[in-house]
Structure 1
Amino acid sequence: MSETLNPVVVAVDIDGVLRLPPLDRGAGELSRAGVYEATVRVFREDYPVAFHDPAGDWSDAGAIGDIACYSAAGAAWLQRLVADPRVIVCWATTWQGYANTYFAPVLGIPPLEVGVNTRPRLTESA
């Protein structure tokens, strides 16, 4: 008798997990740390304002370019997970569907389902 296994679900965040705080850009420091840099051009009309402050140095075209560090090990791990038919991978990030627009290409993965609530952050009332 064969046993049917349920798929494993892995929910992935971006900031602080795959996209890292800036590191020293000295010669070879990034590659030695297992980190690579990529520029992501974010557009104001495609920015998750429900969860992120849209403050920044926006161009006249309504875009901002962000050079960020990414975990090479995290990207490779994510690529392996996405390729595994026993695993369902989804975003668990406040970037929501914008993670597919801005970060999936940088991480070398196809678009993923989004598994976060779309409610904006809570605010205190007076």
Structure 2
Amino acid sequence: MAEEPRPAGVHEGAQTPAAPVAAEDRKAAAAMSKLDANQNDDDAAAKKDVDAEALGKAMKNLDVSDNTTPKNVVKKVVKVDQADVSLLVNHLELTKPKATELLKAHDGDVTKALTAFVAVS
């Protein structure tokens, strides 16, 4: 193969000139260098230790018991008719558990359950 002539401005061993950098690229590079600088700070290690201590204290104060219902409230038992459940399943396209839950929330009354469902939707 024949060697092609080189352009006049190209010299052997010279690096390629840097492409012009857009403003967005400069901003991104500055942001990345700030991130790198923040990761290398000695304060970051101290901050992580403080965060770990705060997390430990918060975890100790968590109460995993079910506090959603007060202890003195008695749940009332609502008997739900299966025909009403199937009616809601067929007409509202709900699952059986959702239909049962909706009926229990409205004391087993189909009209109240339908009205509430339509009002919310």
Give me the TM-score of the superposition, normalised by structure 2: 0.22
Greater percentage in helix: 2
- The structure number with the bigger radius of gyration is 2
Greater percentage in strand: 1
Higher relative contact order (CA 8 A, sep 6+): 1
Give me the TM-score of the superposition, normalised by structure 1: 0.21
